Amino acid sequence: MAVVRDRRQLNLRLPLPELSERRPRFTLPLPPTTNSSAAAATDLEKLQVLGHGNGGTVYKVRQKRSGVAYALKVVHGDSDPTVRRQIFREMEILRRTDSPYIVHCHGILDESCGDIAILMEYMDAGTLDSLLKTNGTLSETSLSNIARQVLNGLTYLHTHKIIHRDIKPSNLLVNHNMEVKISDFGVSKIMYRTLDPCNSYVGTCAYMSPERFDPDSHGGNYNGYAGDIWSLGLTMLELYMGHFPLMPPGQRPDWATLMCAICFGEPPSLPEGVSEEFRSFIECCLQKDSTKRWTASQLLSHPFVCSDAKSQK
């Protein structure tokens, strides 16, 4: 994602930190149907910048009346048209979703100046990617809990014919209670809105399934639902190993290297010492033949996930 270096004051009156030490605010009306305590018009103050990218900025903000923290994603009006299309796609999907495993959208502001702001719930532990960098690796018990939550989210999306197409650690948000939620729907797709078989080359190539990289060799009928499962398998493997599983630690592969590893290499395997349940779970996700991959709903009944659910009870 490109870093935003524009230091102009945003039309939403949320200047970047270098421009002002004051904490600006703006009023964002929320949908009357929301169950949030911020259902009325809301005064927000900016606390910090959480990240930049794709022509926009993500802020941590706080509602002054209640003290509740939110994440505010602001996209500039002069952003690249592709970025604009992605943010509108994300807005459409967030309006449609209502699941404890999907990041919650509290409101959307599309100003006449062209800037767009999406107010979302704030996940105070960041992403699974940042958690991995802090902890190094995660235990099987933690991964079982994470897998169960992500699978619940994917089952919800897939049931509603929504394909995410970019499942990876940095798109999975987490809070201090280890609640995990799927986010970032910029390249996602609602399948019943079009006859397109969803074979476009979008997302993060490192987490793409073989049939997305090379449809001629791995079957031209790309199944986006199965593609999400491949990405989940790589994500779980990365969280366990502490690095991207298809490459040695610290190596940043180029497109050609990734394609060879994903399409022509053997599926990545777990090291010695892991449980048979976890090994089986990864194998069910990383089948090169997409028709042999388990679905999200099937994986929810896998022993690796069910064992954690029983221990939680």
What is the rounded average pLDDT of the residues 24-47? Answer: 47
pLDDT of residue 199: 54
pLDDT of residue 16: 29
Q: Please, where in the chain does CATH 3.30.200.20 lie?
A: 25-121
- Work out the percent of the chain whose per-residue pLDDT is above 90: 41
Is residue 46 annotated as involved in ligand binding? Answer: no
Contacts of 125 (CB under 8 A, 6+ apart): 131, 174, 175, 176, 178
What is the rounded average pLDDT of the residues 67-76? Answer: 89
pLDDT confidence tier of residue 265, bands split at 50, 70 and 90:
confident
pLDDT of residue 117: 87
Calculate ∠ Cα 154-49-75, nearest 5°: 65
What is the rounded average pLDDT of the residues 193-204? Answer: 59
pLDDT of residue 294: 97
- Could you tell me which residue, 223 or 148, shows the higher pLDDT? 148
Q: What is the pLDDT of residues 73-110, one digit of tens each?
A: 888 777 778 788 888 888 889 988 999 999 999 888 76
**Catalytic residues, which ones?**
166
pLDDT over threshold 60, residue 249:
yes
Q: Please, where in the chain does CATH 1.10.510.10 lie?
A: 128-312
Please state, in angstroms and rounded to a whole number, the distance separating the CA atoms of residues 205 and 248: 17
pLDDT over threshold 90, residue 228:
yes
pLDDT confidence tier of residue 32, bands split at 50, 70 and 90:
very low
Q: What is the pLDDT of residues 3-25, one digit of tens each?
A: 333 333 333 333 323 322 232 33
Architecture, CATH, for domain 25-121: 2-Layer Sandwich (3.30)
pLDDT of residue 309: 53
Tell me the average pLDDT of the chain. Answer: 79
What is the rounded average pLDDT of the residues 44-72? Answer: 85
- Could you tell me which residue, 43 or 288, shows the higher pLDDT? 288
Which CATH code, of 1.10.510.10, 3.40.50.300, 1.25.40.10, 2.30.30.40, is assigned to 128-312? Answer: 1.10.510.10
pLDDT of residue 222: 74
